[in-house]
Amino acid sequence: MSKIGFIGLGIMGRPMAGHLLDAGHELVTVKRGKLDETLASKGMRELDAPKAVAEAAEVIITMVPDTPDVEEVLFGEGGVIEGLKPGTLVIDMSSIAPLATQAFAKRIVEAGGEYVDAPVSGGEGGAINAALTIMVGATEEGFKRATPILEVMGKTITHIGGHGAGQTCKVANQIVVALTIEAVAEGLLFASRAGADVAKVRESLLGGLAQSKILDVHGERMINRTFDPGFKIKLHQKDLNLALEGARSLNLALPGTANAQQLFQACAAHGGADWDHAGILRALEALADHEVGR
């Protein structure tokens, strides 16, 4: 079993850390308010700073919102790099910029550590059920070392390539997810406006070529109007920003991605930055002056 420093106990991080504790790993984290009682009861300990976490652990996992957050945890004052021991495995499971990831990896490797970028897909449900899809950018050695730990939290673990490749895959994932959520919302909105029973429409679509996990999970959210976040709109906006910035640098046009980003922005403008990303439906409903199922 490993001594693991887990930094980032949010919607996704809490259950992920819980699975590692259940598997017998020893976990420490950075003190940020009151520690979750369930994690504390399983033996998770709090330390004052990322530096202290690095000094106490042989593996560091970060699961924080954005690129600057990862940079601050790793390289800020009292950061992980100040307490990094030779051979420490640093696994970033956040969703951040691929180019920044390559730079972070270089600094960690130069300091004597091993770096793995391992962003995830599957949302809160995937984290709770230890069924995440994990996209890995690492050396062969880094992937080999990280795999037993990642297997505790995920079901599908793929070594995409070198440093940054995992994050590139995650950006592609977020493009597909955003456009599929938008497609499901438009389909249900069309059916509702035409007077059909949207619950039966969804049931029928789940048996045909339009079937998808998003139609299953997010379609149900849309029909039931349950927009409490499994994954917040503002976080998906961050991911699509990475996609659009990357597209500019690659001289690519991503019109569907840009359109989905504008719909997310419309939600944010109406106070919905913290809605689940299925809330994109609300932006489309505002344009149609019609609510699904009503």
User: What's the rounded Cα separation, in Å, for the pair 212 and 243?
Assistant: 22
As given in the structure block, the two tokens for residue 183 are 């497609």
The identity of residue 257, as a single letter, is T
| Catalytic residue (one of 51, 170, 232, 234) | 170
Give, rounded to a whole angstrom, the gap between the first and last alpha carbons of the chain. Answer: 54
Long-range contacts of 144-148 (CB under 8 A, 24+ apart): 145/89, 145/114, 145/116, 146/89, 146/91, 146/116, 146/118
Residue 211: both structure tokens together: 């079937």
Under a CB-based contact definition with an 8 Å cutoff, are residues 262 and 181 in contact?
no
Look at the alpha carbons of 158, 161, 167, 173 in this order and tell me if their dihedral is positive or negative.
negative
Tell me if residue 42 is catalytic.
Answer: no
Active-site annotation, residues: 170
